[in-house]
């Protein structure tokens, strides 16, 4: 911006001199799981009306295979060329991922249009995959769906570890040493969520349904994720009452973490919120703290007013029958747990992220329960 190479405008007319227009538009899931492409379609049509000369539309939005071809057919051929250029940014690391991506995917039917989009990345040190429309579109779904499968597998592994007396952190350390597996998404938790994995697994399943292909593995990962959240809630209830289906009326629960992961303020499809909701439904009084969701965001985080959002971890754990860690914020490790032990009603920590040091918590007077740990 300082060099005058970036400017902002609210009118599409400002794009008249652009040879490439990048579309970064939302494609939310509909009730049937299919992505809503209305924004991509409507904006593309407006651009074709505003720009008289030839232009390449680079679609970064996550769309199902066949979308670029359909869009190209609706816009006509010759003056407008559609290219699929899916983004792979991670929430909390978007700027770093944009500047130093692990890979770049450019798919299209016209080689000159693909060249035009590829040239935008000439200064970026990353491998570029030139491919067709459908392959580029499906690659995004395939990546996120695989991560969802891996995360669900890890959570099921944690459940098995609990049942047989193994330590999931030890087991996954062995797995991560295998380069064919890698260490990413091998940390168990309350389930996966956010704005991408739930939407993209739904999109993948919808694409399979439309193509007549059964994607049992992806469907199983989605179902496993829902079961894992229910199992976590049952485990919390059992720790407090001795029965997995008992009422939590009269119990106060302090929750640490509301966002779907650390490093972001996003609570969309957050497994933490899903767990909190279930605890409230069972009658618990929940007080929650998240460094990215202070009391000023309470109405946005908890539209139904089910629980209280506070601005300090000490306020969340005060008088609690249990402290439940649901997001892996590193600052939770530096909580004054010794002081917290004096404020809680019952010194019990249920760490759904395996974030904290069990020995350190026990030295402060807490009973510690992790996920998949003896």
Residues in contact with 302: Cβ distance below 8 Å, sequence separation at least 6, in sequence order:
273, 309
Is 358 marked as binding a ligand? Answer: no
Is 98 marked as binding a ligand? Answer: no
Is 185 marked as binding a ligand? Answer: yes
Is 150 marked as binding a ligand? Answer: no
Residues in contact with 236: Cβ distance below 8 Å, sequence separation at least 6, in sequence order:
253, 275, 279, 322, 324, 350
Is 131 marked as binding a ligand? Answer: no
Q: In what order do the strands lie in the sheet with 285-289?
A: 308-310, 285-289, 252-256, 322-325, 348-351, 367-369
Is 170 marked as binding a ligand? Answer: no
Query: Is 196 part of the annotated catalytic residue set?
Result: yes
Is 193 marked as binding a ligand? Answer: yes
How many CB atoms sit inside 10 A of residue 334's CB? 8
Is 372 marked as binding a ligand? Answer: no
How many CB atoms sit inside 10 A of residue 297's CB? 15
Is 62 marked as binding a ligand? Answer: yes
Q: Tell me which of 161, 196, 280, 364 is the catalytic residue.
A: 196
Pairing label, strands 308-310, 285-289: parallel
Whether 136 contacts 120, CB under 8 Å: no
Whole-number Å distance between alpha carbons of 236 and 351:
10
Give the CA distances from residue 47 to residues 114, 208, 357, in Å, rounded to whole numbers and listed in that order: 19, 31, 55
Give the CA distances from residue 58 to residues 138, 144, 314, in Å, rounded to whole numbers and listed in that order: 16, 21, 48
> Residue 151 has what DSSP assignment?
H
Q: For residue 91, which phi and psi values (nearest 5 degrees)?
A: -60, 135
Is 248 marked as binding a ligand? Answer: no
Q: How far is CA 6 from the centre of its chain?
A: 29
Among 10, 6, 118, residue whose Cα is nearest residue 58? 118
Is 60 marked as binding a ligand? Answer: no
Known binding-site residue numbers for NAD(+): 27, 62, 91, 199, 268
Known binding-site residue numbers for substrate: 88-91, 140, 185-189, 193, 261
Known binding-site residue numbers: 27, 62, 88-91, 140, 185-189, 193, 199, 261, 268
Residues with a catalytic annotation lie at 196
């Amino acid at each position: 911006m300082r060099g005058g190479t970036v400017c902002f405008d609210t009118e599409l007319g400002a794009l008249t001199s652009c040879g490439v227009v990048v579309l970064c538009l939302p494609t939310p899931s509909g009730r049937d799981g299919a992505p809503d492409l209305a924004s991509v379609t409507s904006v593309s049509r407006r651009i074709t009306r505003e720009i008289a000369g030839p232009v390449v539309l680079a679609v970064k939005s996550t769309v199902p295979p066949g979308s670029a071809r359909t869009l190209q057919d609706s816009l006509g051929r010759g003056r407008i060329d559609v290219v699929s250029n899916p983004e792979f940014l991670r929430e909390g690391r978007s700027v770093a991922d944009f500047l130093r991506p692990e890979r770049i995917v450019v798919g299209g039917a016209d080689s000159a249009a693909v060249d035009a989009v590829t040239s935008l990345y000439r200064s970026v040190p990353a491998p570029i995959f030139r491919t067709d429309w459908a392959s580029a579109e499906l690659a995004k779904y395939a990546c996120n769906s695989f991560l969802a499968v891996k995360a669900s597998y890890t959570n099921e592994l944690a459940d098995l570890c609990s049942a047989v007396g193994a330590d999931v952190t030890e087991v996954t350390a062995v797995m991560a040493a295998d380069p064919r597996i890698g260490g990413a998404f091998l940390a168990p938790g309350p389930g996966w969520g956010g704005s991408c994995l739930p939407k993209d697994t739904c999109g993948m399943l919808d694409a399979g349904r439309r193509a007549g292909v059964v994607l049992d593995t992806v469907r199983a990962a989605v179902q496993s994720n829902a079961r894992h959240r229910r199992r976590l809630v049952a485990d919390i209830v059992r720790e407090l009452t001795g029965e997995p289906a008992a009422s939590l009326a009269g119990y106060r629960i302090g929750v640490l973490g509301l966002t779907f992961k650390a490093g972001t303020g996003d609570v969309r499809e957050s497994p933490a919120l899903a767990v909190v909701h279930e605890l409230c439904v069972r009658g618990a009084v929940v007080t929650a703290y998240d460094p990215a969701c202070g009391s000023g965001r309470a109405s946005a985080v908890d539209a139904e007013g089910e629980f209280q959002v506070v601005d300090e971890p000490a306020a969340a754990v005060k008088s609690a029958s249990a402290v439940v860690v649901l997001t892996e914020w590193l600052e939770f490790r530096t909580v004054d747990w010794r002081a917290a032990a004096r404020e809680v009603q019952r010194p019990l920590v249920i760490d759904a992220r395996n974030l904290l040091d069990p020995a350190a918590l026990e030295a402060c007077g807490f009973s510690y329960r992790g996920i998949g740990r003896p």
